[in-house]
Amino acid sequence: MSDPLVLVTDADGIRRITVNRPDKLNALNAATLDALQAAFDAAATDDAVRVVVLTGAGPKAFVAGADIAEMADLRPTEGRDFSLRGQRLMRSIETLPKPVVAMVNGFALGGGLELAMGCHLRIAADTAKVGQPEIGLGLIPGFGGSQRLLRLAGRAATLELCLLGAPVTAERALQLGIVNRVVPATELEAETLKVATQLAASAPLALRATLDVVNIGGECGIEEGLQYETAQFGLMFATDDMREGTRAFMERRKPSFTGR
């Protein structure tokens, strides 16, 4: 029996999802996209899961890209369907009602960078490299890379990465705003779990509302975004967690949030 394409483990409210094709540098074929979709769908509806950490198996790659061998013989309609499959996954991660942290342990290229950009936070090893090299294959990004990179890093950086196709270092990615933090490779797991643990201890409803207002605000005008923020802010006053958080602050103790 072959190894699962995606590994899922749980500990203390943190679900770790690992792309498990190290012999292929965790390249995304259709079956792996489907396995990731199922894993994130399950995480979305599991009340025991408060935060998700996404990474790749092995020491070399987070995800080195889409599976070129599988793509090589696709016809136009099949290529479109493959793109839609990937975009559906990235969008479901981006809109997950729980924080998703990408632990970028190595190469994040093409579909791998697109996968990382779908996550809410990205912590990279100092040895990692990221890029959109599709131009070298006669392709363009197909899993949302042109659009999310544009929103994260701006027009100039997006055109540089997509037109030239050369990967950049983790430090350069940090300067461009593509990743949030860069740490020594030996400290990557500890730093990522530190962030995930902090998120897991936070108020789940407030986390969800924060993700919602940022997602909505990024896709509408300022007035609509402000109105949505105000509505979500008001709803927090109906939660037990808001009462617990304010009470704990006044009593100078750590809050204990329940997600209610």
84 by DSSP, 3-state: which? helix
Which residues are paired to 241 by β-bridges?
Answer: none
Q: Which of 163, 159, 166, 158 is nearest to 107 (CA)?
A: 166
Indicate which residues carry an active-site annotation.
114, 134
Spatial separation of the C-alpha atoms in residues 57 and 75, rounded to whole Å: 31
CB 163 within 8 A of CB 145: no
Helices (H), the chain: 30-45, 68-71, 76-94, 111-118, 145-153, 155-164, 170-176, 188-200, 204-217, 222-236, 240-250
117 by DSSP, 3-state: which? helix
